[in-house]
Amino acid sequence: MNAGLFRDTLIRLSLRTPLLPLLVAASFVDGFWSTGNLRTLAESVSVDGIIVIGMTVVMIAGGFDLAVGSVLAMGGVVAVLLLPHGLVASALGAAAAGAAAGLLSGTLVTRLRINPFIATLAVMVMVRGGILAYTDTRPVVGLEDAFLALGGGRPLPYAFLIMLAIAVAAHVLLSERPWGRHVYAVGADERAAAMAGLRVTRIKMQCYALSGVLAALAGMLLAARLGTGSPIIGEATPLTAAAAALIGGASLRGGEGSIPGAVAGLLFVGCLVNVMNLLGVPSYYQRMVIGAMLFALVVTDGVLLRLRRR
């Protein structure tokens, strides 16, 4: 990690993302620093983290992806259904299904010029309806030993290590490679990027496809941990992913954000939810808290945009 990235990460952890104060407060909650709870926390943030990385890339490019929760569920179901053909076929099938959903979203946004929220909402409903119809609303069970092993890992879950590897790769791709600079350019000013010769449509399609692939692979890892591919999971995933990305520095305007910031935002949301679980806060109140936080972030983003235009 270079000095600039280390400094940026510390700033996000201590200032924009109030993770360190939260960790200090969490120290007064019984059981937070226990080995079992920390493992539970690592398991929960690993799946969401893979999705947040894809969501962040899309938001940097000036888009948004509401379909990630449905694609998460689809990835788990497809992975389990393909297990009889081997673990590699299972992973490739899930990734292909996620890429197809992402490309559909990208096509609606770039070719048909549909608002990203409306386009990905439509894809979310279609994907969810499709997997519910195919499975008859019932989970599909996968009991292959190699598959179930993906949901384990000691001392850290394999899913958490995979998330870290994907985060490092995504950061390098965005910060050290021309494609990443092109993504930032497209998000900052799509028209100027097109005039500069960038293939705006192609770049945005790639971002949506990447988001779909990562969401589907996250679904596969979750299915491995649970032992089933459930068609009903992931309803709150877009809310969590968007909150983490926005807390980490991404913007609905596009052209802003980073993977270290997104991971910091994810850790903040994950720790906040974990603390509320330890305190016995009902899940519906937890959603209200995250929803209120997301509302505040969106309002703040809009206010900053108006101030910059003055």
Predicted confidence at residue 18, as pLDDT, reads 66
Q: What is the DSSP string of 250-298?
A: --TTSS---HHHHHHHHHHHHHHHHHHHHTT--HHHHHHHHHHHHHHHH
Predicted confidence at residue 305, as pLDDT, reads 66
23-66: pLDDT as tens digits: 777 788 888 888 888 888 998 899 999 999 999 999 999 999 99
Predicted confidence at residue 6, as pLDDT, reads 47
Whether the pLDDT of residue 158 is over 80: the answer is: yes
> Could you tell me the pLDDT band of residue 1, with boundaries at 50, 70 and 90?
very low
> Could you tell me the pLDDT band of residue 149, with boundaries at 50, 70 and 90?
confident
Predicted confidence at residue 17, as pLDDT, reads 55
One-letter amino acid at 72 equals L
180 vs 57, 106, 206, CA distance in Å?
A: 9, 18, 11
6-27: pLDDT as tens digits: 455 445 444 455 666 777 777 8
- Which of the pair, 156 or 159, is modelled with greater confidence? 159
What number is the average pLDDT over the span 179-183?
Answer: 96
Whether the pLDDT of residue 146 is over 50: the answer is: yes
Distance CA 204, CA 58 (A): 7
At residue 9, φ and ψ (nearest 5 deg) are -65, -45
Give Cβ neighbours of residue 101 (< 8 Å, ≥ 6 apart): 67, 70, 71, 74, 123, 127, 212, 215, 216
**Cα Rg for the chain, rounded, in angstroms?**
19
**Would you tell me the crossing angle of helices 237-247 and 68-81 to the nearest 10 degrees?**
120
Predicted confidence at residue 15, as pLDDT, reads 46
Of 149-158, 182-191, 273-282, which range is least confident? 149-158
Give Cβ neighbours of residue 293 (< 8 Å, ≥ 6 apart): 243, 247
Whether the pLDDT of residue 2 is over 70: the answer is: no
114-145: pLDDT as tens digits: 999 999 999 999 999 999 999 999 999 877 88
Predicted confidence at residue 141, as pLDDT, reads 87
Distance CA 58, CA 73 (A): 20
Q: Do 210 and 57 touch, CB atoms closer than 8 A?
A: yes
214-266: pLDDT as tens digits: 999 999 999 999 989 999 999 889 988 988 898 888 888 899 889 988 988 89
pTM of the full structure: 0.89
Whether the pLDDT of residue 187 is over 90: the answer is: yes
Predicted confidence at residue 7, as pLDDT, reads 52
Question: Which residue ranges form the domains of the chain, and what is each CATH number?
Answer: 6-309 (1.10.3470)
267-307: pLDDT as tens digits: 888 888 899 999 998 988 888 888 888 888 777 777 766 76
Compute CA 219 distance to the chain's CA centroid, rounded to the nearest angstrom: 11
At residue 95, φ and ψ (nearest 5 deg) are -65, -40
